[in-house]
Amino acid sequence: MGGPKKTLPLTPHVALLRGINVGGKNRLSMEVLRECFAQAGCSQVRSYIQSGNLTFHVHEDEVAALAGRVSIAMHEAVGFSVPVIVRSLADLVATIDAMPFDCSDNSASFQILFLSSVPTTSLDATRSPNDQFVLIGDALYVRYGAGIGRSKLTNAYIDKTLQTTSTARNLKTLRALVGLADQL
């Protein structure tokens, strides 16, 4: 008979939800979203702006199942769910630090797309000639040369081509999330 189940310590994490409160679709209050994460086993849940960015603590051995538990809690609370990508605070900081572009102007033209899995395929570098991108593991770094709205590097194209799910954030949002998570 094994003794009591060993649980890993609580560690800070970030959740990035795709498509919350964007363009009038998938309306969800941050209060309800925070409660969904609490029901899924997270503590010290905090939200940042209204577009599905959260920081929280969770046991490391519960992270793999967290997105599924949150999706179930969301569906029960509001009748829909969206993709949820979870990263540890350490992973988020490492992803930001790995930015291959000079982003000293902190422009919104630089985004990091967080992928639900490491792709085994690649993107067509000629699809959107004004843009530059670099894929590193489960993060796609993009510099939108003519602006995001003119790019052909859309979420739909990226997801279909890389056979994954992505959600993008700019550096300002990511740095704010790191600051918020550091306060946990």
pLDDT in tens, 60-90: 999 999 999 999 999 999 999 999 999 999 9
pLDDT at 118 over 70: yes
Amino acid of residue 103: C
Among candidate residues 72, 88, 104, the one where a domain is terminated: 88
- Residue 4 has what pLDDT? 56
* Burial of 147 (C-beta count, 10 Å sphere; 0-12/13-18/19+): exposed
Query: Do 104 and 130 lie in a common domain?
Result: yes
Q: How many CB atoms lie within 10 A of CB 89?
A: 19
Asked whether residue 84 falls in the same domain as residue 97, the answer is no
Number of domains, the chain: 2
Q: What is the pTM of this model?
A: 0.91
Based on the fold, state whether residues 102 and 170 are members of the same structural domain: yes
Q: Per-residue pLDDT tens for 148-162? A: 999 999 999 999 999
* 10-55 pLDDT per residue, tens: 999 999 999 898 777 889 999 999 999 999 999 999 999 988 999 9
Q: Please say which residue of 88, 122, 143 terminates a domain.
A: 88
Q: Domain with 28 in it: what CATH number?
A: 3.30.70.1280
Neighbouring C-alpha atoms within 13 Å toward the C-beta of 133: 26
Q: What is the pLDDT of residue 6?
A: 56
β-pairing verdict for 110-115 and 139-143? antiparallel
119 and 160 share one domain: yes
Q: Are residues 101 and 48 in the same domain?
A: no
Write out the residue range of the structural domain in which residue 53 sits: 10-88
Structural domain includes residue 61? yes
pLDDT at 105: 76
Question: Is residue 4 in some structural domain?
Answer: no
Q: What is the pLDDT of residue 44?
A: 96
pLDDT at 1 over 80: no
